[in-house]
Amino acid sequence: MPKPPPPTFSQTVLVVLSNITSMRLSWPKRRKTGASKGSNARMLRISAPKVAMGGPRADTYPGTYREMKVAVRNIRIHAIPAGRGQACVAEYLKSNSPLWITLKHPHVLTPLTVGGSAKRHAVYVVSPFMPNRDLRRHASTLREAGTLTSEQVVKWVHEIALGLEYLHDNDVVHGDLHLNNVLLDENFHLRLSDFGMSAIFHQAKTAASQCSPFPEVISSHSTAPELLDPQAFGLKTAEASFESDVFALGSVVMELCTGQLPFTGLGPELSSFQLLTRIVGGARPARPSVDDDGCVMDDRLWSLTTACWAHDPTSRPSAMDIVEILTDA
């Protein structure tokens, strides 16, 4: 008997989503829809097999969900050892995804649904499609056109801080704040996306560390020093926190103002290890000159950046403090 043709990409994704019970993970139950568990999978369609955007932790595909245009994030958990590591991912999502889908804020991108399959090493987060893409790309376009101003940056940072304040008020740590995770909606307002994703990797790494290692994504340009070397700060593990989110916000401000990755100013010739060592030791970039090409760093933005970059996590302002500072600016 001839073998049946392999499933299409869209069919494969539907199978993955309908098999989430094999991961011991059910669809979030807080939002009453009157639909069965499997119906979420049947309502999701991938528009094309081509990845719209790839990153260190996930690939994004365009699709439709309940006739709404969506982005489907495929979280890369394939490197996590089977067993306790993947079970920990399932438990984390089971505990947290019901909260994620109930978050409501104009500057937070709320997932529509979350699902996965341990058998296929897949976790999917389905969110509304953001037509104007990410802030890194948008800010670069304005800078090249010569229309980026410090006032525009203050407005953006204020919106980011409002979203961050809301997440923190709901006891949600973003954990991976950078310009690619700040998206623009149809009205060019900012939405924080991918919050909580870093915790998936942290939880799984902690559970699986006795089995075998798997890669941990670290960006020296936005990662707080206490996450780079937790022991130096008296911490047992490198777990993201409200304070590390604020440190990352300082890096966001620096990049928006200069168009450069924040810590390249410490020395472009430094290796990654040397750069991490200097950051953990307390080194920070000098204030960029307003004469630099495209730089819009003014006194208020520099003051905010240095406050967010405080070496002692307890000395950093809270997201609420930052909202108040920028509201009065």
CA distance 220 to 279: 8
Nearest to 24 by CA among 102, 115, 124, 99: 115
Nearest to 203 by CA among 287, 289, 112, 92: 92
Q: Which residues contact 163 (CB under 8 A, 6 or more apart)?
A: 105, 107, 108, 190, 191, 192
Neighbouring-strand partners of residue 44: 65
Q: What is the pLDDT of residue 109?
A: 96
Amino acid at 326: L
Neighbours of 157 (CB within 10 A): 27
Contact between 326 and 319 (Cβ < 8 Å): no
**For 135-328, which CATH superfamily applies?**
Transferase(Phosphotransferase) domain 1 (1.10.510.10)
Neighbours of 153 (CB within 10 A): 21
pLDDT in tens, the chain (329 residues): 555 544 443 444 443 443 332 333 333 444 444 444 445 555 777 765 555 555 656 778 888 888 889 998 887 665 555 556 666 766 777 777 888 889 999 999 999 988 766 555 567 889 999 999 999 999 999 999 999 999 999 999 999 999 999 999 999 999 989 999 999 999 999 999 988 776 666 665 565 554 433 334 456 678 999 999 999 999 988 889 999 999 999 999 999 999 998 888 777 777 778 888 899 999 999 998 876 667 889 999 999 999 999 999 999 999 999 999 998 76
Domains in the chain: boundaries: 9-128, 135-328
Provide the whole-model pTM: 0.81
Q: What is the pLDDT of residue 90?
A: 67
CA distance 318 to 43: 40
Fold of 9-128: Phosphorylase Kinase; domain 1 (3.30.200)
